[in-house]
Structure 1
């Protein structure tokens, strides 16, 4: 199945090792927050067309907690090989840098100190990011595509398994200074196939992920579950027609300032050669929160 091939390619990219070698940056002509883009309303828009999103493959966009850095993965006319890209704000303009060959999908921990890349990571230093490091057990033997973390350090992550289309999304808390053995989330989240790319809210009040489910649009859709007052996860809620189409939508996250929902969508053929990053006002997500 083509979708599973896409997941396999994503994982293989995440599994590539190597150090980060910073290339020379080039200053863009855009200025202001969000790479100088006019914020969207309640209808998703392509993020930074011609600058970030092109006729090629751009995926997994994420901002740093201070909103001064934007990371994503790309392969397009500008970057012929799969690349890990950074836009960094310098004053009012943004500096574009190819950090390295493609790494795992980036996610920066809420404290800004760790850049997660699946089961690998980099640490923030005075000189920038460290070399790529490997997570210790119990994560070192798990094939992880996207690792995210809450403000208290709890990990939420997916599992790539070519022999199991229903491999669960799991979590692991810090107990007595060590991470516990990962546990699968409840059936509210772990129902369907291709359960992938979780994003946990910093306060763990909701979780986003993508999956193929019977109530979906036919391909991968993005879902949200809100945590109940008793601590249990609520039912999975499809983000609806404004976000999900009959195309592949995946890899959703909310900007650290809580204002915008980012996600990726295949806007090309089944070859997935034209994947763009979209954004939309996060109110579309908050409006789905059930009343208790």
Structure 2
């Protein structure tokens, strides 16, 4: 069986995503997406790439428009008129579409710097002012390909600043997969250190810089595997994927911030096979990777249903 911790840097889940989905038993069937537009996939209009939003029962997201293999869920701009997502791991490519003349444009690959060839797992801050991604390209001052590191850009005019890696105290960890940030730019990401399973870390944004990361306390982190966190803008709750081991089903979980710390995580039972959950800017839906070649989504009514 594939060792998700193999490799010098113990970067987990490089190809393990496929095995997670293939080895777990009987994946649930997602209801096919219903498109508002019946024209060709490149002539869709409306919110969320022209799909009728789901309710509690998960549906497939982006079928036909978002095709191929994927590594992380789509992330929308605060206005909902731009979207980015990661292609399969080996492609090291981020794709992009936006609304032009009322229709979603044909997806294209994007490159933010001539010095960076590797792009994975995009995330945009809730205010749209900062953009993050993971890359294995050489760090500044080096010509040698690197382990995966988190990079950040700032919004400038109609584009983005030159990407810069986050501090070494963050990037020294064997990190991987989707990250997220709150309204205050506090950063949540999953990584592994030493011989333990991957856990969720927090790096606070203070005085314009990121602080040394700390592990989130129990019970968010456990002796199981916690990955791909998605923090609420106000940090009142956190979504993440938890699984027992490589062969287990990855389920969506949620925990809430309280005066005494994080609450015991709740499992969202009808969202198994969930990697990289990302809540939409309007906080109404969660989109996630439901297999290496498909996305699922459902409404976020469970957030209030589980709230203590």
Band of TM-score, shorter chain = 0.7 to 0.9
Q: Deviations over 1:108-147 (max 9, x none)?
A: 0112111111411222222422333211242232333233
The TM-score normalised by the length of structure 2 is 0.74
Q: CA deviation at 1:47?
A: 0.6
- What CA distance in whole angstroms lies between the structure 1 residues aligned with 2:130 and 2:260? 27
Q: CA deviation at 1:206?
A: 0.3
**What is the count of residue pairs matched by the alignment?**
257
Closer, same or farther: CA 116–39 of 1 in aligned 2, 3 Å: same
Matched, 1:138 2:169: yes
Matched, 1:221 2:239: no
Mapping of residues 53-92 of structure 1, within 5 Å: 54=67, 56-57=69-70, 59-75=72-88, 81-92=91-102
The TM-score normalised by the length of structure 1 is 0.78
Q: Deviations over 1:71-106 (max 9, x none)?
A: 111249xxx945311111123101122114651211
- What CA distance in whole angstroms lies between the structure 1 residues aligned with 2:91 and 2:121? 16
Mapping of residues 1-292 of structure 1, within 5 Å: 1-2=1-2, 4=4, 7-9=13-15, 28-52=42-66, 54=67, 56-57=69-70, 59-75=72-88, 81-95=91-105, 96-100=107-111, 103-118=119-134, 119-145=150-176, 146-160=178-192, 164-213=195-244, 218-228=248-258, 230=259, 232-240=261-269, 242-244=270-272, 248-266=273-291, 274-290=292-308
SS of the residue aligned with 1:158? strand
Closer, same or farther: CA 175–129 of 1 in aligned 2, 3 Å: closer
CA RMSD of aligned residues (A): 2.8
Q: Quick check: 1:191–1:213 contact (8 Å CA) kept in 2?
A: no
- What CA distance in whole angstroms lies between the structure 2 residues aligned with 1:34 and 1:213? 33
SS of the residue aligned with 1:50? coil
Q: CA deviation at 1:2?
A: 3.5
